[in-house]
Amino acid sequence: MRDILFCGAGFVLAMVALGLIRILRGPAAADRMMAAQLLGTGGIAVLLLAAGGGLAAAVDVALTLALLAAFAAVAFVKSGTPPKLDKSPTGEKG
Amino acid sequence: MSIAVALNILTIVAVSGGAFFFLAGTVGLLRFPDTLTRLHALTKADNVGLGLIMIGLLPRVAWPFDALKLIVVWVLVLVASAVSSQLIGRKLWRGGDGS
Amino acid sequence: MTIGVGFSIALGLLILAVAVFTIGTRDSFAAVVAFVVYGLLLSLGWMNLYCPDVALTEAAVGGGVTGALLLNACARVRSEKTSDFKKSPRWIGRGMAGLLCLALSSGLVAVVILLPNPAPTLAPEATRSLSATGLGNPVTAVLMAYRALDTMLEKVVLLLALVGVWSLASDRFWGGRATFGHLPEPDRPLIFLTRVLAPVGIIAGIYLFWVGADAPGGAFAGGAILSAIWILVFFAGLSVVPAVGSLGLRIVLSVGIIIFLAAGVAGISMAAGFLAYPAGFAKPIIVVIEVAMTLSIGATLGLLVAGPPGESLKP
Protein backbone atom coordinates (compact mmCIF):
# COMPACT_ATOMS: atom_id res chain seq x y z
CA MET A 1 0.00 0.00 0.00
CA ARG A 2 2.85 2.35 0.85
CA ASP A 3 4.37 1.82 -2.59
CA ILE A 4 1.07 2.51 -4.32
CA LEU A 5 0.73 5.78 -2.43
CA PHE A 6 4.30 6.68 -3.32
CA CYS A 7 3.48 6.08 -6.97
CA GLY A 8 0.51 8.39 -6.59
CA ALA A 9 2.73 10.98 -4.93
CA GLY A 10 5.23 10.74 -7.77
CA PHE A 11 2.49 11.13 -10.35
CA VAL A 12 1.00 14.21 -8.71
CA LEU A 13 4.52 15.62 -8.32
CA ALA A 14 5.03 15.20 -12.08
CA MET A 15 1.73 17.03 -12.66
CA VAL A 16 2.84 19.85 -10.37
CA ALA A 17 6.17 20.05 -12.20
CA LEU A 18 4.44 20.29 -15.60
CA GLY A 19 2.07 22.90 -14.26
CA LEU A 20 4.97 24.88 -12.83
CA ILE A 21 6.72 24.93 -16.20
CA ARG A 22 3.64 26.44 -17.77
CA ILE A 23 2.93 28.85 -14.95
CA LEU A 24 6.40 30.19 -14.42
CA ARG A 25 6.86 30.69 -18.12
CA GLY A 26 3.59 32.62 -18.54
CA PRO A 27 4.40 36.04 -19.84
CA ALA A 28 1.98 37.96 -17.66
CA ALA A 29 2.11 38.41 -13.91
CA ALA A 30 -1.39 36.94 -13.58
CA ASP A 31 -0.15 33.60 -14.91
CA ARG A 32 2.45 33.42 -12.20
CA MET A 33 0.00 34.21 -9.44
CA MET A 34 -1.59 30.85 -10.06
CA ALA A 35 1.52 29.18 -8.67
CA ALA A 36 0.16 29.60 -5.15
CA GLN A 37 -2.98 27.70 -6.09
CA LEU A 38 -1.08 24.95 -7.86
CA LEU A 39 1.20 24.41 -4.89
CA GLY A 40 -1.69 24.75 -2.48
CA THR A 41 -3.60 21.83 -3.94
CA GLY A 42 -0.89 19.75 -5.60
CA GLY A 43 1.68 20.24 -2.88
CA ILE A 44 -0.72 19.15 -0.16
CA ALA A 45 -1.65 16.10 -2.22
CA VAL A 46 2.00 15.12 -2.67
CA LEU A 47 2.66 15.72 1.02
CA LEU A 48 -0.18 13.54 2.24
CA LEU A 49 0.54 10.76 -0.23
CA ALA A 50 4.23 10.59 0.51
CA ALA A 51 3.70 11.12 4.27
CA GLY A 52 7.34 11.00 5.18
CA GLY A 53 7.32 11.61 8.92
CA GLY A 54 4.17 9.69 9.63
CA LEU A 55 0.70 10.69 8.55
CA ALA A 56 -0.17 12.53 11.78
CA ALA A 57 2.68 15.02 11.40
CA ALA A 58 1.92 15.29 7.68
CA VAL A 59 -1.62 16.50 8.44
CA ASP A 60 -0.21 19.32 10.59
CA VAL A 61 2.20 20.35 7.85
CA ALA A 62 -0.68 20.14 5.36
CA LEU A 63 -2.67 22.55 7.53
CA THR A 64 0.25 24.98 7.54
CA LEU A 65 0.69 24.63 3.78
CA ALA A 66 -3.00 25.29 3.17
CA LEU A 67 -2.99 28.48 5.26
CA LEU A 68 0.21 29.73 3.71
CA ALA A 69 -0.75 28.95 0.14
CA ALA A 70 -3.86 31.08 0.70
CA PHE A 71 -1.76 33.82 2.23
CA ALA A 72 0.76 33.65 -0.61
CA ALA A 73 -2.02 33.88 -3.21
CA VAL A 74 -3.36 37.04 -1.55
CA ALA A 75 0.13 38.52 -1.31
CA PHE A 76 0.76 37.83 -5.00
CA VAL A 77 -2.51 39.40 -6.08
CA LYS A 78 -1.96 42.48 -3.96
CA SER A 79 1.55 43.01 -5.30
CA GLY A 80 1.23 41.70 -8.82
CA THR A 81 0.93 45.06 -10.45
CA PRO A 82 3.02 48.16 -9.87
CA PRO A 83 1.60 49.99 -6.87
CA LYS A 84 0.57 53.04 -8.79
CA LEU A 85 -2.35 52.97 -11.14
CA ASP A 86 -5.24 55.31 -11.66
CA LYS A 87 -7.45 53.07 -9.53
CA SER A 88 -6.38 54.43 -6.15
CA PRO A 89 -8.09 57.51 -4.73
CA THR A 90 -4.89 59.19 -3.60
CA GLY A 91 -1.53 59.34 -5.23
CA GLU A 92 0.52 57.74 -2.46
CA LYS A 93 3.46 55.58 -3.23
CA GLY A 94 4.19 54.59 0.34
CA MET B 1 -14.47 -9.49 2.38
CA SER B 2 -13.15 -7.92 5.55
CA ILE B 3 -13.36 -4.24 6.38
CA ALA B 4 -9.62 -3.77 5.99
CA VAL B 5 -9.65 -5.05 2.42
CA ALA B 6 -12.67 -2.90 1.55
CA LEU B 7 -10.96 0.18 2.98
CA ASN B 8 -7.82 -0.58 1.01
CA ILE B 9 -9.83 -0.80 -2.18
CA LEU B 10 -11.52 2.51 -1.32
CA THR B 11 -8.11 4.10 -0.84
CA ILE B 12 -6.79 2.84 -4.16
CA VAL B 13 -9.91 3.82 -6.10
CA ALA B 14 -10.14 7.27 -4.55
CA VAL B 15 -6.46 8.05 -4.97
CA SER B 16 -6.58 6.91 -8.59
CA GLY B 17 -9.60 9.12 -9.19
CA GLY B 18 -7.79 12.03 -7.56
CA ALA B 19 -4.73 11.45 -9.71
CA PHE B 20 -6.92 11.40 -12.82
CA PHE B 21 -8.41 14.77 -11.91
CA PHE B 22 -4.95 16.19 -11.34
CA LEU B 23 -4.01 14.92 -14.79
CA ALA B 24 -7.08 16.59 -16.27
CA GLY B 25 -6.27 19.84 -14.50
CA THR B 26 -2.69 19.83 -15.74
CA VAL B 27 -3.73 19.02 -19.30
CA GLY B 28 -6.13 21.95 -19.12
CA LEU B 29 -3.40 24.15 -17.68
CA LEU B 30 -1.08 23.26 -20.54
CA ARG B 31 -3.52 23.36 -23.42
CA PHE B 32 -6.05 26.10 -22.74
CA PRO B 33 -5.41 29.25 -24.75
CA ASP B 34 -6.13 31.97 -22.25
CA THR B 35 -5.10 32.81 -18.69
CA LEU B 36 -8.70 32.87 -17.45
CA THR B 37 -9.46 29.43 -18.84
CA ARG B 38 -6.24 28.06 -17.41
CA LEU B 39 -7.18 29.47 -14.03
CA HIS B 40 -10.54 27.74 -14.33
CA ALA B 41 -8.96 24.39 -15.13
CA LEU B 42 -6.44 24.68 -12.34
CA THR B 43 -8.87 25.66 -9.63
CA LYS B 44 -11.73 23.30 -10.33
CA ALA B 45 -9.94 20.13 -11.35
CA ASP B 46 -7.12 20.27 -8.82
CA ASN B 47 -9.47 20.86 -5.92
CA VAL B 48 -11.63 17.88 -6.83
CA GLY B 49 -8.48 15.82 -7.19
CA LEU B 50 -7.31 16.85 -3.75
CA GLY B 51 -10.71 16.05 -2.28
CA LEU B 52 -10.70 12.56 -3.76
CA ILE B 53 -7.19 11.91 -2.52
CA MET B 54 -8.20 13.00 0.96
CA ILE B 55 -11.21 10.70 0.90
CA GLY B 56 -8.84 7.93 -0.05
CA LEU B 57 -6.51 8.74 2.83
CA LEU B 58 -9.24 9.03 5.47
CA PRO B 59 -9.14 5.31 6.35
CA ARG B 60 -5.43 5.57 7.06
CA VAL B 61 -5.36 8.35 9.64
CA ALA B 62 -6.10 8.03 13.34
CA TRP B 63 -9.74 8.55 14.14
CA PRO B 64 -11.33 10.96 15.12
CA PHE B 65 -9.05 13.93 15.57
CA ASP B 66 -6.70 13.42 12.67
CA ALA B 67 -9.55 12.66 10.30
CA LEU B 68 -11.33 15.85 11.42
CA LYS B 69 -8.11 17.80 10.87
CA LEU B 70 -7.88 16.37 7.38
CA ILE B 71 -11.43 17.49 6.58
CA VAL B 72 -10.73 20.95 8.01
CA VAL B 73 -7.66 21.20 5.76
CA TRP B 74 -9.77 20.30 2.74
CA VAL B 75 -12.49 22.84 3.49
CA LEU B 76 -9.80 25.46 4.06
CA VAL B 77 -8.18 24.71 0.71
CA LEU B 78 -11.59 24.89 -1.00
CA VAL B 79 -12.46 28.27 0.46
CA ALA B 80 -8.99 29.68 -0.15
CA SER B 81 -8.89 28.43 -3.74
CA ALA B 82 -12.33 29.81 -4.49
CA VAL B 83 -11.49 33.25 -3.19
CA SER B 84 -8.00 33.49 -4.65
CA SER B 85 -9.18 32.38 -8.08
CA GLN B 86 -11.85 35.11 -7.80
CA LEU B 87 -9.20 37.67 -6.91
CA ILE B 88 -6.87 36.65 -9.73
CA GLY B 89 -9.73 36.48 -12.23
CA ARG B 90 -10.99 39.90 -11.25
CA LYS B 91 -7.55 41.40 -11.57
CA LEU B 92 -7.28 39.94 -15.08
CA TRP B 93 -10.76 40.98 -16.07
CA ARG B 94 -10.23 44.57 -15.11
CA GLY B 95 -7.06 44.63 -17.17
CA GLY B 96 -4.76 45.54 -14.30
CA ASP B 97 -2.35 43.04 -15.67
CA GLY B 98 1.26 44.11 -15.30
CA SER B 99 4.08 42.17 -16.80
CA MET C 1 15.90 1.44 -6.93
CA THR C 2 12.81 1.56 -4.81
CA ILE C 3 9.94 3.91 -5.46
CA GLY C 4 10.74 5.94 -2.37
CA VAL C 5 14.26 6.69 -3.58
CA GLY C 6 12.94 7.55 -7.03
CA PHE C 7 10.45 9.96 -5.50
CA SER C 8 13.16 11.64 -3.42
CA ILE C 9 15.35 12.10 -6.49
CA ALA C 10 12.46 13.53 -8.50
CA LEU C 11 11.61 15.98 -5.72
CA GLY C 12 15.24 17.02 -5.41
CA LEU C 13 15.51 17.65 -9.15
CA LEU C 14 12.33 19.72 -9.13
CA ILE C 15 13.61 21.85 -6.25
CA LEU C 16 16.86 22.36 -8.12
CA ALA C 17 15.06 23.35 -11.31
CA VAL C 18 12.90 25.89 -9.49
CA ALA C 19 15.99 27.32 -7.77
CA VAL C 20 17.76 27.73 -11.12
CA PHE C 21 14.71 29.50 -12.50
CA THR C 22 14.56 31.82 -9.49
CA ILE C 23 18.11 32.96 -10.05
CA GLY C 24 17.98 33.06 -13.82
CA THR C 25 14.80 34.96 -14.51
CA ARG C 26 14.79 38.64 -15.35
CA ASP C 27 11.43 39.60 -13.94
CA SER C 28 11.59 40.29 -10.21
CA PHE C 29 7.97 39.34 -9.58
CA ALA C 30 8.51 35.98 -11.29
CA ALA C 31 11.62 35.47 -9.18
CA VAL C 32 9.71 36.07 -5.94
CA VAL C 33 6.88 33.75 -7.00
CA ALA C 34 9.45 31.09 -7.87
CA PHE C 35 11.13 31.66 -4.52
CA VAL C 36 7.88 31.04 -2.65
CA VAL C 37 7.33 27.90 -4.74
CA TYR C 38 10.88 26.86 -3.87
CA GLY C 39 10.16 27.36 -0.16
CA LEU C 40 7.00 25.28 -0.27
CA LEU C 41 8.71 22.51 -2.26
CA LEU C 42 11.61 22.60 0.18
CA SER C 43 9.19 21.94 3.02
CA LEU C 44 8.04 18.87 1.09
CA GLY C 45 11.69 17.87 0.88
CA TRP C 46 12.12 18.21 4.63
CA MET C 47 9.10 15.97 5.17
CA ASN C 48 10.76 13.48 2.87
CA LEU C 49 13.77 13.51 5.19
CA TYR C 50 11.54 12.81 8.22
CA CYS C 51 11.92 16.32 9.70
CA PRO C 52 8.38 17.60 10.29
CA ASP C 53 9.47 20.43 12.63
CA VAL C 54 11.78 21.90 10.01
CA ALA C 55 9.12 21.38 7.34
CA LEU C 56 6.61 23.37 9.40
CA THR C 57 8.97 26.28 9.94
CA GLU C 58 10.15 26.25 6.32
CA ALA C 59 6.60 26.40 5.02
CA ALA C 60 5.57 29.14 7.42
CA VAL C 61 8.65 31.34 7.23
CA GLY C 62 10.30 30.50 3.93
CA GLY C 63 7.06 30.17 1.99
CA GLY C 64 4.81 32.79 3.45
CA VAL C 65 6.52 35.49 5.45
CA THR C 66 9.73 35.78 3.41
CA GLY C 67 7.68 35.78 0.23
CA ALA C 68 5.56 38.69 1.45
CA LEU C 69 8.71 40.51 2.55
CA LEU C 70 10.32 40.10 -0.86
CA LEU C 71 7.13 41.16 -2.64
CA ASN C 72 7.05 44.37 -0.65
CA ALA C 73 10.67 45.02 -1.46
CA CYS C 74 9.92 44.39 -5.13
CA ALA C 75 7.02 46.80 -5.12
CA ARG C 76 9.08 49.53 -3.47
CA VAL C 77 11.98 49.04 -5.86
CA ARG C 78 9.70 49.17 -8.85
CA SER C 79 8.15 52.43 -7.73
CA GLU C 80 11.56 54.01 -7.26
CA LYS C 81 12.22 54.35 -10.98
CA THR C 82 15.99 54.40 -10.68
CA SER C 83 17.93 53.12 -13.63
CA ASP C 84 20.68 51.56 -11.51
CA PHE C 85 18.76 48.35 -11.19
CA LYS C 86 19.00 47.69 -14.87
CA LYS C 87 22.73 47.11 -14.64
CA SER C 88 23.65 43.50 -14.09
CA PRO C 89 26.95 42.39 -12.59
CA ARG C 90 29.75 41.82 -15.03
CA TRP C 91 30.95 38.42 -16.06
CA ILE C 92 33.83 38.29 -13.61
CA GLY C 93 31.47 38.99 -10.74
CA ARG C 94 29.12 36.27 -11.89
CA GLY C 95 32.00 33.86 -12.40
CA MET C 96 33.29 34.43 -8.88
CA ALA C 97 29.80 33.96 -7.42
CA GLY C 98 29.35 30.75 -9.37
CA LEU C 99 32.72 29.40 -8.24
CA LEU C 100 31.99 30.19 -4.59
CA CYS C 101 28.58 28.49 -4.81
CA LEU C 102 30.17 25.47 -6.44
CA ALA C 103 32.81 25.26 -3.72
CA LEU C 104 30.19 25.52 -0.97
CA SER C 105 27.94 22.90 -2.51
CA SER C 106 30.82 20.49 -3.11
CA GLY C 107 31.94 20.95 0.47
CA LEU C 108 28.48 20.15 1.78
CA VAL C 109 28.12 17.12 -0.48
CA ALA C 110 31.57 15.87 0.52
CA VAL C 111 30.76 16.21 4.21
CA VAL C 112 27.55 14.22 3.81
CA ILE C 113 29.06 11.48 1.65
CA LEU C 114 32.24 11.09 3.67
CA LEU C 115 30.48 10.78 7.02
CA PRO C 116 31.31 7.53 8.81
CA ASN C 117 28.48 5.04 8.81
CA PRO C 118 26.68 5.13 11.26
CA ALA C 119 27.09 8.89 11.53
CA PRO C 120 28.09 10.27 14.93
CA THR C 121 25.02 11.69 16.61
CA LEU C 122 23.83 12.96 19.97
CA ALA C 123 20.25 11.81 19.36
CA PRO C 124 20.31 8.90 21.86
CA GLU C 125 21.51 11.13 24.70
CA ALA C 126 19.01 13.80 23.77
CA THR C 127 16.12 11.38 23.97
CA ARG C 128 17.46 9.81 27.14
CA SER C 129 17.19 13.08 29.06
CA LEU C 130 13.70 13.93 27.76
CA SER C 131 11.95 12.76 30.91
CA ALA C 132 13.84 15.33 32.96
CA THR C 133 12.45 18.16 30.85
CA GLY C 134 8.90 16.83 30.80
CA LEU C 135 8.68 17.20 27.03
CA GLY C 136 7.93 14.54 24.46
CA ASN C 137 9.41 16.14 21.35
CA PRO C 138 13.21 15.98 21.24
CA VAL C 139 13.42 18.93 18.86
CA THR C 140 11.59 21.17 21.31
CA ALA C 141 13.79 19.85 24.10
CA VAL C 142 16.90 20.83 22.14
CA LEU C 143 15.49 24.27 21.34
CA MET C 144 14.15 25.14 24.78
CA ALA C 145 16.17 23.15 27.27
CA TYR C 146 19.55 21.98 25.99
CA ARG C 147 20.32 24.98 23.77
CA ALA C 148 17.99 27.60 25.18
CA LEU C 149 20.72 30.21 24.95
CA ASP C 150 20.85 29.85 21.16
CA THR C 151 17.09 30.18 20.90
CA MET C 152 17.06 33.32 23.01
CA LEU C 153 19.83 34.90 20.96
CA GLU C 154 17.95 34.06 17.76
CA LYS C 155 15.01 36.07 19.02
CA VAL C 156 17.32 38.96 19.85
CA VAL C 157 18.62 38.83 16.27
CA LEU C 158 15.06 38.89 14.97
CA LEU C 159 14.29 41.97 17.02
CA LEU C 160 17.48 43.63 15.81
CA ALA C 161 16.42 42.94 12.23
CA LEU C 162 13.13 44.70 12.94
CA VAL C 163 14.97 47.68 14.39
CA GLY C 164 17.12 47.69 11.27
CA VAL C 165 14.04 47.78 9.05
CA TRP C 166 12.54 50.60 11.11
CA SER C 167 15.75 52.59 10.86
CA LEU C 168 15.16 52.88 7.11
CA ALA C 169 12.44 55.43 7.73
CA SER C 170 13.23 59.07 7.30
CA ASP C 171 13.30 61.13 10.47
CA ARG C 172 9.99 62.86 10.05
CA PHE C 173 8.10 59.55 9.86
CA TRP C 174 9.71 57.98 12.92
CA GLY C 175 7.05 56.82 15.32
CA GLY C 176 4.44 56.63 12.58
CA ARG C 177 2.72 53.73 10.87
CA ALA C 178 4.13 51.55 8.16
CA THR C 179 2.63 51.47 4.70
CA PHE C 180 2.72 48.53 2.38
CA GLY C 181 3.48 50.36 -0.82
CA HIS C 182 -0.08 49.90 -2.01
CA LEU C 183 -3.44 50.96 -0.76
CA PRO C 184 -5.81 48.44 0.79
CA GLU C 185 -8.91 49.05 -1.27
CA PRO C 186 -12.16 47.77 0.22
CA ASP C 187 -12.24 44.35 -1.28
CA ARG C 188 -15.21 42.09 -0.64
CA PRO C 189 -13.76 38.67 -1.52
CA LEU C 190 -10.60 39.40 0.40
CA ILE C 191 -12.53 40.53 3.45
CA PHE C 192 -14.56 37.32 3.27
CA LEU C 193 -11.42 35.24 3.01
CA THR C 194 -9.85 37.01 5.96
CA ARG C 195 -12.96 36.50 8.04
CA VAL C 196 -12.84 32.79 7.28
CA LEU C 197 -9.09 32.30 7.55
CA ALA C 198 -8.39 34.46 10.60
CA PRO C 199 -10.15 32.34 13.25
CA VAL C 200 -8.86 29.11 11.72
CA GLY C 201 -5.37 30.54 11.45
CA ILE C 202 -5.31 31.79 15.02
CA ILE C 203 -6.50 28.43 16.31
CA ALA C 204 -3.98 26.65 14.07
CA GLY C 205 -1.16 28.87 15.33
CA ILE C 206 -2.04 28.32 18.98
CA TYR C 207 -2.55 24.60 18.34
CA LEU C 208 0.82 24.22 16.63
CA PHE C 209 2.56 26.06 19.45
CA TRP C 210 0.82 23.98 22.12
CA VAL C 211 1.32 20.63 20.47
CA GLY C 212 5.02 21.36 19.99
CA ALA C 213 5.74 19.94 23.42
CA ASP C 214 5.09 16.39 22.31
CA ALA C 215 4.71 16.48 18.52
CA PRO C 216 6.18 18.57 15.69
CA GLY C 217 5.40 22.22 16.20
CA GLY C 218 6.61 24.84 18.60
CA ALA C 219 6.71 28.55 19.25
CA PHE C 220 8.34 29.54 15.97
CA ALA C 221 5.93 27.73 13.66
CA GLY C 222 2.93 28.92 15.68
CA GLY C 223 4.22 32.48 15.75
CA ALA C 224 4.89 32.49 12.02
CA ILE C 225 1.33 31.39 11.25
CA LEU C 226 -0.05 34.07 13.59
CA SER C 227 2.04 36.68 11.82
CA ALA C 228 0.75 35.50 8.42
CA ILE C 229 -2.83 35.96 9.63
CA TRP C 230 -2.00 39.43 10.96
CA ILE C 231 -0.47 40.45 7.63
CA LEU C 232 -3.57 39.12 5.88
CA VAL C 233 -5.70 41.36 8.08
CA PHE C 234 -3.55 44.31 7.00
CA PHE C 235 -3.96 43.38 3.35
CA ALA C 236 -7.72 43.26 3.70
CA GLY C 237 -7.73 46.69 5.25
CA LEU C 238 -9.56 45.40 8.31
CA SER C 239 -6.99 46.81 10.69
CA VAL C 240 -4.30 49.45 10.69
CA VAL C 241 -0.63 48.76 11.22
CA PRO C 242 0.20 49.88 14.77
CA ALA C 243 2.43 52.92 15.02
CA VAL C 244 6.10 52.24 15.60
CA GLY C 245 6.21 54.49 18.61
CA SER C 246 3.34 52.92 20.49
CA LEU C 247 4.32 51.54 23.87
CA GLY C 248 1.94 48.60 23.74
CA LEU C 249 3.50 47.38 20.51
CA ARG C 250 6.99 47.64 21.92
CA ILE C 251 5.98 45.72 25.01
CA VAL C 252 4.48 42.92 22.92
CA LEU C 253 7.62 42.78 20.78
CA SER C 254 10.02 42.49 23.67
CA VAL C 255 8.00 40.39 26.09
CA GLY C 256 9.45 37.16 24.69
CA ILE C 257 13.03 38.15 25.30
CA ILE C 258 12.26 39.75 28.65
CA ILE C 259 10.64 36.60 30.00
CA PHE C 260 13.40 34.45 28.56
CA LEU C 261 16.03 36.60 30.28
CA ALA C 262 14.04 36.62 33.51
CA ALA C 263 13.88 32.82 33.48
CA GLY C 264 17.57 32.68 32.74
CA VAL C 265 18.55 35.01 35.56
CA ALA C 266 16.18 33.22 37.94
CA GLY C 267 17.96 30.02 36.99
CA ILE C 268 21.17 31.41 38.48
CA SER C 269 19.65 31.59 41.93
CA MET C 270 17.24 28.66 41.79
CA ALA C 271 19.16 26.11 39.72
CA ALA C 272 22.61 25.38 38.38
CA GLY C 273 23.26 28.50 36.31
CA PHE C 274 22.03 30.90 33.64
CA LEU C 275 19.03 29.42 31.80
CA ALA C 276 19.07 26.26 33.91
CA TYR C 277 15.65 25.08 35.01
CA PRO C 278 15.00 23.84 38.57
CA ALA C 279 14.14 20.15 38.62
CA GLY C 280 10.44 19.43 38.23
CA PHE C 281 9.62 22.97 37.10
CA ALA C 282 11.14 22.69 33.65
CA LYS C 283 7.94 22.21 31.69
CA PRO C 284 5.86 25.06 33.23
CA ILE C 285 8.74 27.50 32.77
CA ILE C 286 9.21 26.37 29.19
CA VAL C 287 5.50 26.81 28.49
CA VAL C 288 5.48 30.35 29.89
CA ILE C 289 8.56 31.27 27.87
CA GLU C 290 7.03 29.78 24.73
CA VAL C 291 3.76 31.69 25.13
CA ALA C 292 5.65 34.97 25.37
CA MET C 293 7.89 34.01 22.45
CA THR C 294 4.99 33.05 20.20
CA LEU C 295 3.45 36.49 20.74
CA SER C 296 6.71 38.28 20.12
CA ILE C 297 7.62 36.25 17.06
CA GLY C 298 4.18 36.78 15.54
CA ALA C 299 4.35 40.53 16.10
CA THR C 300 7.98 40.83 14.93
CA LEU C 301 7.49 38.90 11.71
CA GLY C 302 4.31 40.78 10.90
CA LEU C 303 6.02 44.13 11.41
CA LEU C 304 9.04 43.03 9.40
CA VAL C 305 6.76 42.54 6.42
CA ALA C 306 4.95 45.82 7.09
CA GLY C 307 8.21 47.68 6.66
CA PRO C 308 9.48 51.04 7.84
CA PRO C 309 7.07 53.83 8.72
CA GLY C 310 6.28 55.98 5.72
CA GLU C 311 3.87 58.54 4.43
CA SER C 312 0.43 58.25 5.85
CA LEU C 313 -2.26 56.95 3.54
CA LYS C 314 -4.76 59.74 4.10
CA PRO C 315 -3.74 63.10 2.64
Quote the DSSP letter at residue C309. B
Judge: C189–B72 Cβ closer than 8 Å, yes or no: no
Query: Does residue A94 surpass a pLDDT of 50?
Result: no
How far apart are alpha carbons C236 and C200 in whole angstroms?
16
- Taking only the tens place, the pLDDT of each residue in C222-250 is 999 999 999 888 888 777 788 777 888 88
The answer to whether the beta carbons of residues A71 and B77 sit under 8 Å apart is no
User: Mean pLDDT for chain C?
Assistant: 84
Residue A84 to residue A90: CA distance in whole angstroms: 10
Of the pLDDT bands very low, low, confident and very high (cuts 50, 70, 90), residue A84 is very low
Please state, in angstroms and rounded to a whole number, the distance separating the CA atoms of residues C129 and B51.
Answer: 42
Q: Give domain status of residue B98, yes or no.
A: no
| B 28-67 → A contacts, CB under 8 A | 29-30, 35, 38-39, 42-43, 46-47, 49-50, 53-54, 57, 60-62, 66
Burial call C145-162: b when 16+ CB within 10 Å, e when fewer: bbebeebbeebeebbeeb
Q: Mapping DSSP to helix (H, G, I), strand (E, B) and coil, where does residue C83 land? A: coil
Question: Contact at 8 Å (CB) between C74 and C32?
Answer: yes
Using a 10 angstrom Cβ sphere, with 0-12 exposed, 13-18 middle and 19 or more buried, the burial of residue B4 is exposed
- B31 within domain boundaries: yes
Q: What is the pLDDT of residues C35-57, one digit of tens each?
A: 999 999 999 999 988 888 899 98
pLDDT of C271 > 80? The answer is no
B77 in a domain, yes or no?
yes
Q: What ipTM was estimated for this complex? A: 0.88
Which residues form the domain of B29? 3-93
Model pLDDT, residue B75: 92
Tell me what pLDDT residue A93 has. Answer: 40
Give whole-number Cα distances, C62 to C36, C77, C82, C155, C259, in Å: 7, 21, 29, 17, 27
Query: In chain A, whose CA is at the least distance from the CA of B64?
Result: A56
Q: Please state the rounded mean pLDDT for residues C141-146.
A: 83
pLDDT above 70 covers a percentage of chain C that reads 92
63-92 in chain A: CB under 8 A from chain B: 63, 66-67, 69-70, 73-74, 77, 80-82, 85, 87
Contact C253, C214 (CB under 8 A): no
Q: What confidence score (pLDDT) does residue C122 get?
A: 80
Q: For residue B80, which residues of chain C lie inside 8 Å, CB to CB?
A: 193, 197
Residue C1: pLDDT band (50, 70, 90) is low
Residues of C with CB under 8 A from a CB of B: 27, 29, 187, 189-190, 192-193, 196-197, 200
Spatial distance between the Cα atoms of C227 and C205, rounded to a whole number of angstroms: 9
Closest CA to C179 of C230, C229, C241, C231: C241
The string of pLDDT tens digits covering residues A45-65 is 999 998 855 678 889 999 999
Note the pLDDT of residue C108: 92
**C217-237 b/e with 16+ CB inside 10 Å = b?**
bbbbbbbbbbbbbbbbbbbbb
Whether the CA torsion C85, C91, C96, C101 is positive or negative: it is positive
Distance CA B18, CA A4 (A): 13
DSSP C179-238: --SS-----HHHHHHHHHHHHHHHHHHHHHHHHTTTSS--HHHHHHHHHHHHHHHHHTTS
Question: Which candidate, C241, C234, C228, places its Cα nearest to that of C190?
Answer: C234
**Enclosing H/E stretch for B65:** helix B65-93
Kindly indicate the confidence band of residue C284, based on its pLDDT and cuts at 50, 70 and 90.
Answer: confident
Section B67-95 average pLDDT = 87
> Is residue B99 included in any domain, yes or no?
no
Contact C190 B87 (CB under 8 A): yes
Q: For residues C102 and B75, give the distance between their C-alpha atoms in angstroms, rounded to a whole number.
A: 44
Select from A53, A72, A80 the Cβ nearest to the Cβ of C67: A72
Number of domains in chain B: 1
Using a CB-CB cut-off of 8 Å, the residues of chain B touching C190 are: 83, 87
